[in-house]
Amino acid sequence: MTGSRPRIVVCRWIPDEALALLREAGDVWVPDPDRALPPGELHEVLAGADAAVTTLSERVDGTFADAAGPQLKVVANVAVGYDNVDVPALAERGVTVTNTPGVLTDATADIAFGLLLSATRRLGEGERLLRARTPWSFHLGFMLGTGIQGATLGVIGLGQIGRAMATRARAFGMNIVYSGRRQAPADVEAQLEATYLPQDELLRTADIVSLHCPLTPETRHLIDADALAAMKPTAFLINTTRGPVVDEAALAAALRDGVIAGAGLDVFEQEPDVHPGLLELDNVAMAPHLGSATVETRTAMATLAARNALAVLAGEPALTEVTP
């Protein structure tokens, strides 16, 4: 530490409420203007840091920790997922890793359901038609979409966000099936009127498949060409979890060739790049990783990250620690 105050490196902009918490307790560095620092420059800035607040923009691994030095105590990641963090490498160096679960559940589920509606009812396609000033007139066959009442939503990963998505779908009269590493408690199934299915059966039967599983080596390209081929040709895929859960090239081909009817995507395999095949298609609704992008949610996420960092620096347990 520098004197009695810890050095805290904030790798990207976070809301003022969270910065104020950190500045009360330590000397805070934040990029000005806000930008994603290349690894070499970031590692220089990290030197001597006691704590780092990171986002999905940074790769946090052993090299990151070594650049900070042996006094680094905590990395507070402003996200639920932590696939950008090598948790075992940091644990080996005695660095606590934290994330921000719970506070973004509803915001992300809202985006997922918004994409579901946009894809099934062709809202993005309709807006593009109007903005292009394409002549049109109302008639009974114009831009027909797909209704969702009575349809089956297949949720892959019935965690907090998956459950919130299922709750929204029930309110719209949808039936719920789900798959995952383990079956949900009986009371959760009863509340959602949800049925557990093996993933291959879910893919065959669901009208809409919504992804809410974390990105792990096992879930990378979980939805590949074979999985897409198993889905109904009238089905839709929604992804608001992590881009690499889906083989984006395979998805673009499936959408182009009518293997499935459409998709709604908030995340992409090589963000910020999007597979060019997807950009050419009207049957995919897209957003630029807006799942948690409300003022209230991002403030809550950053504040939780700040509280995690300060707790560890004070020698107290983290509020939401990630364990290897």
242 is catalytic: yes
pTM, to two decimals: 0.94
Distances (CA, A) of 323 to 60, 64, 96, 160, 313: 15, 18, 8, 19, 18
CB 76 within 8 A of CB 98: yes
107-138 pLDDT, tens digit each: 999 999 999 999 999 999 999 999 999 999 99
Q: How far apart are CA 71 and CA 217, in angstroms?
A: 31
Q: In which band, very low, low, confident or very high, does the pLDDT at 2 lie, cut at 50, 70 and 90? A: very low
| Mean predicted confidence (pLDDT) in 243-263 | 98
CB contact burial 97-121 (16+ within 10 A = b; e otherwise): bbbbbebbbbbbbbbbbbbbebbbb
Instruction: Inform me whether the pLDDT recorded for 216 exceeds 50.
Output: yes
Q: Which CATH architecture has domain 105-286?
A: 3-Layer(aba) Sandwich (3.40)
**Residue 289 annotated as catalytic:** yes
Rounded mean pLDDT, 85-95: 98
Tokens matching residue 33: 């203007």
Confidence band, pLDDT 50/70/90 cuts, at residue 3? low
Identify the active-site residue in 189, 201, 271, 321.
271
Distance CA(60)–CA(274), nearest Å, equals 23
3-state secondary structure of 191: helix
Catalytic, 125? Answer no
What is the pLDDT averaged over residues 31-54?
Answer: 96
Q: Which CATH class is domain 7-100+295-322?
A: alpha beta
Residue with tokens 């007139």: 137
Kindly list the domain boundaries of the chain, sorted by start residue. Answer: 7-100+295-322, 105-286
Q: For 245-271, what is the mean pLDDT? A: 98
For position 4, what pLDDT does the model report? 79
Which entry of 242, 275, 298, 307 is annotated as an active-site residue?
242
Same fold, 7-100+295-322 and 105-286: yes
What is the average per-residue pLDDT within 229-245?
Answer: 98
The tens digit of pLDDT for each residue in 291-311 reads 999 999 999 999 999 999 999
Burial class (CB in 10 A: 0-12, 13-18, 19+), 223: buried
In degrees to the nearest 10, what's the CA dihedral of 201, 101, 107, 294? -150
